[in-house]
Amino acid sequence: MTKKGVGNQKWTPQATQAFEALKQAFTTAPVLRHPDPALPFQVEVDASELGLGAVLSQREAPDKPLHPCGFYSRKLSPAEKNYDIGNRELLAVIAALAEWRYLLEGSKDPIVIITDHKNLTYIGDAKRLNSRQARWSLFLSSFNFVLTYRPGSRNIKADALSRQYESYEHNIQDQHPIVPQERIIAATTISVSSPLMKRLQTVQGAAPGGKPPARLFVPENEREEVLNIYHDNKTSGHMGITKTVSSISKLLWWPTLRRDVKDYIAVCEVCSRQKSPKTAPIGLLQPLPIPERPWSHVAMDFIVELPESRGNTVILTIIDRFSKMGHYVPLRKLPSAAELVPIFIANVVRIHGVPREIVSDRGTQFISGFWRGFCKNVGIDLSFSSAYHPQTNGAAERANQNIEKYLRCFISEQQDNWSDLLPWAEYAINSAVSESTGHSPFFTVY
């Protein structure tokens, strides 16, 4: 009404009545009152399958209504959701007492705790307690309280607080994604066939409990095909357990997913034949500082003396140290510093801008005056790995291992097609979740 441009307002008796009703509503119960330590407290608690709720109240006089002093609610953790109803209700009591401990501990009058679970009223007489209940019992011994049973139909305040998460959970599950799942899976693994997807759609009624929302359950007879697609495929790249599980979990699920992936990779002939050990060298780790944004700090290295493939014998490895994204450039030979500059501009500067720092070994290209002069002119700092200690340039060295492992998995017997495999290798590696960032390089950068 006081907003600019709002005119010709007519104040009527009905408006006055509504205004007075609003004032009354804002200044009377259930507006919170300040707790009075001299008055007895009442705590109403409840637990649902998804959350806990509690109301702290006091009565100014025996003939006065209860007035709330505080409300409390929270969602249950995944572990707490597995508790039986008795333990969930007892957890609600513990959570409420912990929330208002500064008011309730040492209270003069007994705290009246109201619950709609009748068995809780016998908690003090229990003969056997598990370790969790024993801890709770020790905590409860600090309070002067009595437990009172009230039917759930009358315990509406705490019940409403504990159940407020249910509609939220259902709404989240019922949301329709902006991008259809078929498109997402096509971008993740191009080889997922529509016949497989149709077969999976027909068995969703047999999915066991615990299936996450928006995931398709995979029955036992289809799992080997799924594992083949997500591990052996050219776009998957024979990745390790964590990355394979992460890729599958974007759309699919079954209860023993991680164990099956582990067993599948353990007997993968290609992986056992081609993957190299990654035992860490003895000594203290001295990591480089973590960059603040993508493509501000770059690591570079060469893979040399490869079998000739379309005239190429060298791979230039360029890695973003922030996102772990990599570009892999096939070259006919080791370039000179003058030849390296246009390659660097075409594959880094043109796409990602000028980085602040480049980490490399002490190859002749990187320590030459031409390369140093170019980097100085465009504002790039140079850092070099220590002699006989290539781990300093760990990002590039690890990328070299990944690209070599991928090529060994898919290269032909003649070993002359690795140049054709490089784009697929770059796609697979940049699509896989990085253990250091928790996201794929594509996700981190874009």
Please write the tens of the pLDDT for every residue from 193-210. Answer: 568 888 888 888 888 888
CB atoms within 10 A of CB 108: 9
Q: Which domains does the chain have, with CATH numbers?
A: 41-166 (3.30.420.10), 181-274 (1.10.340.70), 297-445 (3.30.420.10)
* Secondary structure class of 217 (helix, strand, coil): strand
Q: Quote the tokens at residue 63.
A: 């003939």
Range of weakest confidence among 246-250, 283-287, 429-433: 283-287
Average pLDDT, rounded, for the chain: 82
Closest C-alpha to 247, from 44, 440, 41: 440
The residue-averaged pLDDT of 210-222 equals 85
CA separation for the pair 126, 87 (Å, rounded): 13
Please list the alpha-helical segments (H only) found in 105-155: 131-140
Sheet holding 41-47, edge to edge: 66-75, 51-59, 41-47, 111-115, 145-149
Residues 375, 356: Cα–Cα separation, whole Å: 10
Structure tokens given for 293: 């944004």
Contact 72, 54 (CB under 8 A): yes
The tokens describing 333, both together, are: 């030979």
Contact 298, 320 (CB under 8 A): yes
Window from 62-66, 346-350, 353-357 with minimum mean pLDDT: 62-66
Statement: residue 267 has pLDDT above 80: no
**Which two structure tokens, joined as six digits, stand for 99?**
């929330």
Q: Name the most confidently modeled range: 109-123, 146-160, 416-430.
A: 416-430
Could you write out the three-class secondary structure of 412-426? CCCCCCHHHHHHHHH
Res. 342 pLDDT band, cuts 50 70 90: very high
Pairing outcome for strands 314-320 and 297-303? antiparallel
Report helix, strand and coil shares of the chain as percent, to nearest 5: 45, 15, 40
pLDDT band at 86 (very low <50, low <70, confident <90, very high): confident
Q: How far apart are CA 442 and CA 366, in angstroms?
A: 28
**Per-residue pLDDT for 103 more than 60?**
yes
- Determine contact, residues 296/357, Cβ cutoff 8 Å: yes
Confidence at residue 12, expressed as pLDDT on a 0 to 100 scale: 87
In this predicted model, which residue has the larger pLDDT, 391 or 142? 142
173 falls in which pLDDT band (50, 70, 90)? very low
Q: CA 330 to CA 66: how far, in whole Å?
A: 78
Each residue's pLDDT tens digit, 409-446: 888 888 889 999 999 999 999 998 888 788 899 998 98
Beta bridge partners of 66: 59
The two counts, helices (H) then strands (E), for the chain are 19, 12
DSSP strand pairing (252-253 vs 216-217): parallel
Is the overall model pTM greater than 0.75, yes or no? no
What does the pLDDT read at residue 187?
A: 41
Under the banding of pLDDT at 50, 70 and 90, the label for residue 174 is very low
312 phi/psi in degrees, rounded to 5 = -100, 145
The share of the chain scoring above pLDDT 90, in percent, equals 28
Beta strands in 65-186 (DSSP E): 66-75, 111-115, 145-149
- Residue scoring higher pLDDT (270 or 314): 314
Predicted local distance difference test score (pLDDT) of residue 4: 58
pLDDT over threshold 50, residue 183: no
- State the average pLDDT over residues 41-53: 91
Q: What percent of the chain has pLDDT over 70?
A: 81
Query: Is the confidence at residue 318, as pLDDT, over 70?
Result: yes
Contact 296, 355 (CB under 8 A): yes
